[in-house]
Chains A and B, each alone.
Chain A
Amino acid sequence: MVFSSNIFLFFFLPIFLVAYFLTPRKFRNYTLLLFSIVFYAYGAPDFVFLLVGECIVNYYVVRAMAKRNPEGLTDRMGGKTENGKWKTILCAISIILSLGLLLYFKYANFMMENLNGILGWFHHEPVSWMKVALPIGISFFTFQSITYTLDVYRGVTPPSQKLTDYVLYIMMFPQLIAGPIVNYNSVAAQLVERDSTMEDRVLGFYRFVIGLAKKVLIANTLAVYADQVFAMNYGDLSSGTAWLAALSYTMQIYFDFSGYSDMAIGLGKMMGFRFPENFNNPYTSHNITEFWKRWHITLGNFIMNYLYIPLGGNRKGKGRMYFNLWLCFLLSGLWHGASWNFVLWGAYHGLFICLDKLLNGKRNPKGLTDRMGGKTENGKFSVLRSPLSVPFTFLIVLIGWVLFRVEGIAPIGDFYQAMFSFRSGDFVRADSQYWFVLALALVFSFLTLTKGGLRLQELVFADHYTPRRSWIMFAITLVLLILSAGSLCVSNFNPFIYFRF
């Protein structure tokens, strides 16, 4: 079940909201857990037991691990105590359990296909295997499970005191399928005790509807063009069409993913949860490093805290830092999907991150102005750079999305050739609604580069509204909800005209 579906919006959600708010406060977690299990089981009936089972095992493993805490991990000589060893072993068991499931379900097919490809080169018979189905949301709940284990291991947070609270943390339906990746310590207190005011519920719903509109009215409209072009033979594409399709996809993926995050954050807010922000106008970034601080922020934080720093971060020399950075992005690419396209996409971003550190990193520390307020060499360079840095960064990101979108490795070259040969050819025309929505998407993506845009963003996403503004927002929300519902219903209604006549 996805949020932007009729069954969720007009059947599941109203029933859930009524049930949730009619439940006495202290039992609301059970209601939420029950609906979350129904939500997951609807789309993945064969995996719900696996997920619940993994949660239960992990909960007890981590509890056992946490019990080893009091006596410390090392003895006076710095060696590991018996407790410390067991703690590490239990932590490893928990991580292996989570990562093992991810590796098996998400990457087994990919690995076997590649193995058979290699065997084929050497004229060996392929290894036969049963294709493994992918449980939805596994990438997200695996990472959440790992943050829980590691945070408890590091002593950042105590373990959950109730199994149901832990299962709820993993399975809570607003963020189960597509994030944001929520650190356990950021919601641990809310799982036990939270308050949702009327204002939270209303503002949460507004956020949900804004996300819905981003997904349904913008992303889905742009997807039609992108899907059409990316399904074509790239050899016949004109450069204009290829660039337009890449731009469409760039906007589509942003409004799709950030829309989903908005919906998750909004639903969470309605129930009193404060989920972390996942996007912050990523296309206004001045460089790739900044882009990754604005795009899928919770994934970036996860990679930084649970991969980059454990790998040594920048503490082991510059060469190692560049390697760590590149490796982190390579793996983050692979996390997005089991395909070489995602690996390439990760490597591509890793490369630009390293280049960014190499070129821009030097300029930053000394600041842009000297003691007298005059511009330093660095500052002069930055000023020269700045007007072009946003479009330049956007261009790098846009070109990168082609790796993400094209299916298979072989056609990537053809698509880039279509983009960069600047040739004429078949231009795929788009209708006026598409152009309008694309213009809207571009405006919304870059609006915060202006002061007015920033102000507007603050007004819309404010924590409190003035009475007048709240009624305006209420009206806008209803209009967006009706239009989104109309768009969803229209996309599901494809009648034959001339069945009889």
Chain B
Amino acid sequence: MKRPVRYTIQFASILVVLLAVLLQGLTHAVNTKPLAGYTDELDTVPLNFSTYYDGTFQDYLTDYAKENTGFREWAIRLYNQVSYSCFNKTHCHFITPGKDGYLFYSEAFREYYGIEPLHFYKTYDNARIWAQKNVRMMNKLRYVLKDYGVEFLCFMAPDKAEIYSEYLPYHEPPKGNVIHTAAYYDSLMTAIGFPHVEMTKWYLAMKDTASFPLFPKRDTHWRYAAVYGFDSLFSYMDSLNGFGIPDIHVNQLIALDTEYLENDEQTLNLLFPIGNDSPKYRADITIDCDEGCHKPKVLFVGDSFIWDLETYMPWKEILADVEIWFYNKAAFVGFDKERHPVTEINRLRSLLNADYVVWYSSGYQWSRASYDFVEDALIQLCVTDSLFDAQIPWVMDSLGNDSAFKAKYYAQHYCEISPDSLRQYAINLLKSNPELIPGLRGEAMPTIRNTKAIALAQQANTIANDKLWKTTLEMAASKTERSFAELLDKEAENVLFGRPLLKDEIQADTATIIQYEVEKLINLWRNDPKQTLFLERKAKDKGKDYETVMQEDARWVIQEKLINGELF
């Protein structure tokens, strides 16, 4: 082949490759398997003079180009595969590859060596002081909640890095007075008799005798083996106050034939699976609920290890109601896991409505404890708004006189702190350090209560737990386009202050409520494609109108609920 032709072919190929990538980036015409893992969605920035001149449009375009590079998924998987196969290295910052195909969560790996707290507290001593303060406040919260019949306890899930440490990659022996956070919290809680279940020791003890792996090779979570942990948790909860929680019998774990990529391996985004050497199981569980057995309402606050409760256990047979405050950020309410930001729900009501509040954490997450949960709960339960506001001026004064604080602020903002900013700093400081408030200070148990707010929350819970009352208020909310929460609070105030009740004003009869429930259910079905399809087929089979079938079915479901006492 003559040189010019050869180079023409090569140059044409180069252009074709570059243009193919460009066109794929713009059109995504070729379907590529999406990458695993969650990334924040890019906010669109419109092109105008202002966004162009201040560079925000260019930043957006640069990010857009990164996320929309043609065949990016293939390029990433190929590069990840080369790195993993040649260097046993992952490009997912959260995953550390271990020996023999094991994968570990990087934070758990650092926690095993006792160095994880440095990331949060800079020194090991600071980490210890923080842990002591946390446990002290947890104990105060427990004391306060107990007054209202709520048990507060801790559940310490095990870390895979602790259980399968022999598969960890090499790490320099750490220097200094390292702190194994979970073990340290365990010792502190044991010392003051704080109720807690520590699973690591138990899992280590049964590691050599268990007929199944206690953790999957390529997943951070304990998955199927969690059933033994939850079994212990519920037994322990029952032993605290003899609540009568249903008995859980884990009969056996049954190996499954199905093949799927475990969670951490998915996130590595490789071309080929690492191996098929990590068996999967499902749990065979029986629940006994005899006379005197009660299903508790539980509020779980903690990390992702909680989700295995839903996946591997029949949680509706064990619990009456559940709320999960995931990292104290997102609240998943009820078995349907209706999602809200924690800050937007009535946290006091949730705390007081539960029979148990379980602080739930795997080992490496203890460095993050308590995601402001304990601090916030203490303030909600103990501190009135007026007491809180009364503390702000002196905190502002102390901050204003703190030259180190002011110098740090100046270095960050290049200006003196304004009174408004100082006030905000003071509020944040009080929220994160409730022990600054009189009545919560020192080692003594809290001597103050947020009495009025507690009474309102308790009354609201009473109303919400009365199905007829609740439905009446829901109906009123729906008709007046006000929120149910607003009406609930108002009704609770009405009860406490002896005002006329909304439910008496509305005076809804059973027929009206049933009609309301039917309409609610129909609305739900209309937004459910599967149910819509089912009803369309049913209507066709019966030769009836779709709307008629839907009305009939909805009415039948509500009548059944009424008969079974599920409605009110």
Contact = CB atoms under 8 A, between A and B. Distances in A.
B65 A11 contact: yes
Interface stretch (B18-26, B225-233, B273-281, B543-551): B18-26
A50 B67 CA distance: 33
A71 interface: no
A15 interface: yes
**Chain B interface secondary structure, helix, strand, loop or mixed?**
helix
B14 A202 contact: yes
Contacts of B87: 431-433, 436
A470 B65 contact: no
B76 A489 contact: yes
A201 B11 contact: yes
Nearest to B20: A14
Contacts of A489: 66, 69, 72, 75-76, 79
A13 B8 CA distance: 19
Contacts of A470: 3, 6-7, 10
A50 to B, nearest CB: 14
A367 interface: no
Given A470-B7, A497-B94, A42 B58 contact: yes
Contact of A501 (B69, B95, B263): B263
B25 A10 contact: yes
A433 B97 CA distance: 13
B448 interface: no
Max chain A C-beta neighbours (<10 A), residue from B4, B75, B82, B87: B75
Interface string A458-501: 00000010010011001000100111011101111111111111
B336 interface: no
A496 B37 contact: yes
Max chain B C-beta neighbours (<10 A), residue from A478, A486, A497: A497
A197 B3 CA distance: 11
Contacts of A501: 221, 263, 304, 307
A431 B86 CA distance: 11
B407 to A, nearest CB: 15
Nearest to A466: B3
Max chain B C-beta neighbours (<10 A), residue from A13, A199, A429, A436: A199
A195 B78 CA distance: 38
B79 A487 contact: yes
Contact of B39 (A205, A433, A495): A495
B53 interface: yes
Given A11-B25, A483-B82, A497-B92, A6 B6 contact: no
A471 B9 CA distance: 11
Interface string A255-272: 000000000000000000
A46 interface: yes
B38 interface: yes
B88 A432 contact: yes
Contacts of A14: 15, 18-19, 21-22
B37 A492 contact: no
Contacts of B37: 493, 495-497
B93 interface: yes
A199 B3 contact: yes
B95 A497 contact: yes
A495 B267 CA distance: 8
Interface in A1-52: 5-7, 10-11, 13-15, 17-18, 42-43, 45-46
Interface in B304-324: 304, 307
Given A485-B69, A490-B79, A46 B53 contact: yes
Q: How many interface residues does chain B have, given as a range?
A: 35 or more
A467 B1 contact: yes
Interface in B16-55: 17-19, 21-22, 25, 35-39, 52-53, 55
A198 B15 CA distance: 12
Contact of B3 (A467, A478, A495): A467
A239 to B, nearest CB: 15
B172 A429 contact: yes
Contacts of A497: 37-38, 92, 94-95, 220, 263-264, 267
Contacts of B264: 497
Contacts of A42: 58
B423 interface: no
B179 to A, nearest CB: 17
A60 interface: no
B89 A433 contact: yes
B7 A202 contact: yes
B95 to A, nearest CB: 7
Given A198-B8, A501-B304, A18 B52 contact: no
A497 B75 CA distance: 20
B349 interface: no
B246 interface: no
Nearest to A209: B14
Nearest to B12: A198
B80 interface: yes
A496 B36 CA distance: 9
A487 to B, nearest CB: 6
A478 B18 CA distance: 11
Given A42-B58, A492-B66, A498-B304, A205 B92 contact: no
Max chain A C-beta neighbours (<10 A), residue from B11, B91, B221: B11
Contacts of B88: 432
A45 B53 contact: yes
Max chain B C-beta neighbours (<10 A), residue from A5, A492, A494: A492
Given A433-B89, A490-B79, A495-B35, A5 B62 contact: yes
Contacts of B11: 198, 201-202, 205
Nearest to A21: B15
Contacts of B285: none
Contact of A198 (B7, B70, B94): B7
Contacts of A11: 22, 25, 65
B287 interface: no
Nearest to B81: A486
A370 interface: no
B93 A494 contact: yes
A433 B83 contact: yes
B61 to A, nearest CB: 6
A498 B106 CA distance: 13
A64 to B, nearest CB: 33
Nearest to A473: B10
A471 B172 CA distance: 46
A494 B63 CA distance: 13
A10 B69 contact: yes
Contact of B17 (A433, A478, A487, A496): A478
Interface in B434-487: none
Contacts of B6: 467, 470-471
B175 interface: yes
B323 to A, nearest CB: 16
A198 B79 contact: no
B35 A10 contact: no
A18 B19 contact: yes
A501 B105 CA distance: 13
A82 interface: no
The 8 closest A-B pairs by CB, nearest first: A495-B37, A486-B79, A499-B38, A7-B65, A14-B18, A198-B7, A433-B87, A492-B66
13 contacts: A10-B65, A11-B25, A14-B18, A14-B21, A432-B87, A467-B1, A485-B75, A486-B75, A490-B76, A495-B37, A495-B39, A497-B38, A497-B264
Interface of A: 5-7, 10-11, 13-15, 17-18, 42-43, 45-46, 197-199, 201-202, 205, 426-427, 429, 431-433, 436, 464, 467, 470-471, 474, 478, 481-483, 485-487, 489-501
Interface of B: 1, 3-4, 6-8, 10-11, 13-15, 17-19, 21-22, 25, 35-39, 52-53, 55, 58, 61-62, 65-67, 69-70, 72, 75-76, 78-80, 82-83, 86-89, 91-95, 171-172, 175, 220-221, 263-264, 267, 304, 307
Given A14-B18, A45-B52, A481-B17, 10 more contacts: A6-B65, A10-B18, A45-B55, A202-B10, A433-B89, A486-B76, A486-B80, A489-B69, A489-B79, A495-B36
